[in-house]
Amino acid sequence: MPVDPIQLTRQLVDIESTTYHEGRAGAFLHAFLERERYQVERMPVSQPDRVLTPGAGDGERFNVYAALSGVTPDVVLSTHMDTVPPYFASSEDEEFLYGRGTCDAKGIIAAQIAAAERLREAGVKVGLLFVVGEERDSAGAKEANLHPKGSKFLINGEPTENRLALASKGALRVELRAKGRMAHSAYPELGESAINKLIEALHDVLAMPLPAEPEIGPSTLNIGLVEGGRAPNVIADKAEAHLLIRLVGPSEEIRQNILNVVGDRADVSFSLDLPFVKMRKVGDLPTMVAKFTTDIPSLTAWGEPFLLGPGSIHVAHTPDERIAKKELLESVDLYYNLATSLVS
């Protein structure tokens, strides 16, 4: 029987697979793809240190790669099986599928599997690559890049509303950690507030000019996490902030500017640096610019990249995550048409 993308999306969404806990989803895909007569390979991906990484798991996690036996693919369809928390199961009405991962990116997995079925029937040498860890650090993609399969083209799936992305922004994750000296808050002169130093440094970082790219737009900066202190009546001895900058060019200048602006008020570390990527137009597909970051910068060994997928990024990572059934089914045709045009 042909793959039903709607049914398969619901099956995948009903398997909880938040980042670091992707094992059950990977096992399901392995078994499903074997039943579809693929030769399936698991690429183990290590768990991070649970002390250093809150939320890290202790179970098995792995990428899933599938192709027909003995086939070196010309084109590989790829996306990620991990989701952001919190998990919530699937539901549907006449128009939409709902649930964590419906558009980011389990619906895309289902559409790519359905498209690959049609592609192999048409004689296209196609592979499938589903990775872990995209929502945190692209750990699965980085591992996959050590084991390329000789493909010429990589079609990566993210929610682009079925439009071909001409570019995707990069990402620079920055962590500031300030140190101080505890004291009774009635005698602040006896201590040194790490929070004050961090706030002053963040104020100056926010005032920094950021690069812009005429056809893409500006770099943007978000302070996503601030923690610190002991109690209201204690001068804070520690404080930290985590920032994410969406890049439209190289990161070197921004990194140096942050170091200069922060100075000795806090220690600065850069825990993720994924570059800005430009891609080419193909045929008459509608296009867009992705203001988000993907696994593409970490999959450079898998061929020329393209970015396309059903669903809207505006509902991804929200309690209202959903995907239109019509758009999901249309994406199967789009993946098929794009792949065949690339290899013809």
Q: Any idea which residues carry the catalytic annotation?
A: 134
Q: Beta-strand (E) ranges in the chain?
A: 39-44, 62-67, 75-80, 91-92, 96-98, 126-131, 153-156, 164-168, 170-179, 212-213, 217-218, 220-228, 238-247, 267-274, 277-278, 287-290, 304-307, 322-324
Q: Which of 145, 156, 80, 153 is nearest to 301 (CA)?
A: 145
d(CA 307, CA 313): 13
Residues 6+ apart with CB under 8 A from 288: 160, 161, 163, 164, 165, 166
d(CA 14, CA 310): 19
d(CA 274, CA 295): 9
For residue 102, which phi and psi values (nearest 5 degrees)? -55, -40
Angle (CA) 191-193-197 rounded to 5° is 140
Cβ(144)–Cβ(76) under 8 Å?
Answer: no
Residue 285: both structure tokens together = 């597909």
Count other C-beta atoms under 10 Å from residue 316's C-beta.
23
